Amino acid sequence: MDTYRTIADLAATVELAAPFRSESLFQEKDLFTAGLDDVNIYRIPALIATPGDTLLAFCEARSRDDDDPLDLVLKRSLPVERDLQGVNGVSWPDDRRWLPMQVVLPGEGEAPVNPCPVLDRQEGKVWLCCRKVLGGLAANLGWVHGPLYLLSSQDDGATWSAPVEINDQVGEFLPGPGTGIQTRTGRLVIPGYDPHSAKVIYSDDHGRTWQAGGTIQARGDESQVVELADGTLVLNVRRIGCRHLAFSRDGGESWYEEREDWSLSDPSCMAAVVRYSDAAPGGRGRLLFANPAMPGSRTQLTVKLSYDEGRTWPVARMVHAGQAAYSSLAVLTDGSIGLLYETGPNHPYEKITFARFSLEWLSEGRDRVRPAVLPLELPLVWEFRRDPEEVGVEQGWAGSSDSRGWTAIRVNADWTSQGHDYHGVAWYRLRFAVPAEVRPGTRLALLFGAIDGFSQIYLNGECIAEDRLGPPIMSSRPLVVPLPRALAGGQVVELAVQVRKDEGRAGVWRPVCLVQHG
Q: One of 28, 67, 81, 194 is an active-site residue; which one?
A: 67
Q: Is 67 a catalytic residue?
A: yes
- Calpha distance 250→274 (Å, rounded): 19
The pair phi, psi for residue 493, each rounded to 5°, is -125, 160
Find, among 23, 84, 44, 8, the residue nearest to 330 by Cα.
Answer: 8
Cα distance between residue 315 and residue 311, in whole Å:
12
> DSSP letters along 421-456, please?
---EEEEEEEEEE--TTSPTT--EEEEEEEEESEEE
Which of 482, 485, 481 has the alpha carbon at shortest distance from 441?
485
Classify the C-alpha dihedral 184-187-189-195 as positive or negative.
Answer: negative
Vertex 104: Cα angle to 99 and 110 (nearest 5) = 135
List of residues 6+ apart from 142 with CB closer than 8 A: none
227 is known as an active-site residue: no
CA 477 to chain CA centroid, nearest Å: 12
CA distances from 385 to 158, 411, 499, 501, 507 (A): 34, 13, 11, 14, 11
Which of these is catalytic: 9, 222, 266, 342? Answer: 222
Residue 377 known to be catalytic: no
Q: Is 507 left (phi over 0), alpha (psi -120 to 50) or beta?
A: left
Distance CA 128, CA 179 (A): 9
Which candidate in 4, 42, 326, 341 is catalytic? 326
The residue among 308, 303, 309 whose CA lies nearest residue 290 is: 303
- Partners of 223 in beta bridges: 237
User: Which residue numbers are catalytic?
Assistant: 67, 222, 326
